[in-house]
């Protein structure tokens, strides 16, 4: 299902779609061919880009979170400058500016982009469909508690909610609270407890 895109063996997988190839798929092929002919990039560049994309999964964000849970000084650096702290772990964020927002017993954070779909893709990969949906983008800034309930997350009124609307050059990652049943776990074990949605802030990690 996750065969390397663009690899020749994908062709058999797509034969069924041959008749219904859509307007925009046709456009993608045409534009890509034209740009390769104009030496804007090569097919190898496209493949490399997709491989890099496939390598970016929520496991990256989870590594950052697990380190912050186990190393107080790292946590400080992460909250002070997200991108620099990620680079310490070999996670190159490119031009991305990262603001890490920390959940506490008093405050819960959740991220959204109401204008388009800005997302910490270098740490979490491509966003899920619901993150880009009209429903999520419209509602989470206005009624975050009801939206979180739809994700099964119920927060008492005593816990304040901070919604972060990614409207410009910053990207956000939620640093969830460390579950209480994780004493003695190593970083890898901790990372396996960190879900993508907990780093978006729509869920909390069960403790």
34 binds another protein (CB under 8 A): yes
44 binds another protein (CB under 8 A): no
Task: Collapse the DSSP code of 84 into the 3-class scheme (helix H, G, I; strand E, B; otherwise coil) and give the result.
Answer: helix
**DSSP conformation letters of 158-190:** TSEEEEEE--SSEEEEEEPPPPGGGTT--HHHH
| 116, 133, 138, 192: the active-site residue | 116
What is the C-alpha to C-alpha distance for residues 66 and 107, in angstroms, rounded to an integer? 19
161 binds another protein (CB under 8 A): yes
What is the C-alpha to C-alpha distance for residues 46 and 65, in angstroms, rounded to an integer? 31
- Cβ 123 to another protein shortest distance, Å: 16
- Figure out which of the listed residues 70, 132, 185, 205 binds another protein, where binding follows CB under 8 A: 132
Residues whose CB is less than 8 angstroms from the CB of residue 77 and which lie 6 or more positions away in sequence, other chains included: 84, 85, 88
Q: Which of residues 170-189 bind another protein (CB under 8 A)?
A: 170
Residue 116 appears among annotated catalytic residues: yes
143 binds another protein (CB under 8 A): yes
Residues, the chain: 207
Residue 117 appears among annotated catalytic residues: yes
- Figure out which of the listed residues 55, 76, 104, 116 binds another protein, where binding follows CB under 8 A: 116
89 binds another protein (CB under 8 A): no
Whichever of 77 and 185 has its CB closer to another protein, that residue is 77
Binding segment for another protein (CB under 8 A), chosen from 9-17, 68-76, 177-185, 186-194, is 9-17
- Cβ 205 to another protein shortest distance, Å: 17
Whichever of 26 and 192 has its CB closer to another protein, that residue is 26
| Tokens at 151, concatenated | 């994700």
Helix (H) or strand (E) holding 85: helix 82-88
Closest Cα partner for 200 from 128, 116, 134? 128
- Figure out which of the listed residues 78, 86, 166, 199 binds another protein, where binding follows CB under 8 A: 166
Q: Which of residues 188-207 bind another protein (CB under 8 A)?
A: none
Residues whose CB is less than 8 angstroms from the CB of residue 50 and which lie 6 or more positions away in sequence, other chains included: 4, 5, 6
- Cβ 185 to another protein shortest distance, Å: 28
Task: Collapse the DSSP code of 151 into the 3-class scheme (helix H, G, I; strand E, B; otherwise coil) and give the result.
Answer: coil
User: Where in the sequence numbering do the catalytic residues fall?
Assistant: 113, 116-118
């Amino acid at each position: 299902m996750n065969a390397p895109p663009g690899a020749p063996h994908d062709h058999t997988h797509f034969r069924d779609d041959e008749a219904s190839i859509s307007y925009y798929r046709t456009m993608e092929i045409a534009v890509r061919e034209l740009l390769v002919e104009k030496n804007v990039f090569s097919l190898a560049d496209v493949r490399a880009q997709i491989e890099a994309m496939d390598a970016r999964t929520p496991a990256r964000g989870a590594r950052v979170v697990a380190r912050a849970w186990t190393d107080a000084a790292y946590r400080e650096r992460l909250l002070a400058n997200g991108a620099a702290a990620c680079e310490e772990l070999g996670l190159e964020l490119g031009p991305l500016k990262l603001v890490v927002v920390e959940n506490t017993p008093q405050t819960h954070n959740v991220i959204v982009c109401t204008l388009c779909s800005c997302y910490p893709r270098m740490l979490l990969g491509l966003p899920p469909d619901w993150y880009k949906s009209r429903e999520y983008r419209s509602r989470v800034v206005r009624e975050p508690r009801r939206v979180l309930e739809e994700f099964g997350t119920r927060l008492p009124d005593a816990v304040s909610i901070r919604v972060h609307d990614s409207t410009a050059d910053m990207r956000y990652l939620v640093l969830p609270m460390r579950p209480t049943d994780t004493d003695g776990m190593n970083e890898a074990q901790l990372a396996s407890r960190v879900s993508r949605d907990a780093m978006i802030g729509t869920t909390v990690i069960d403790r």
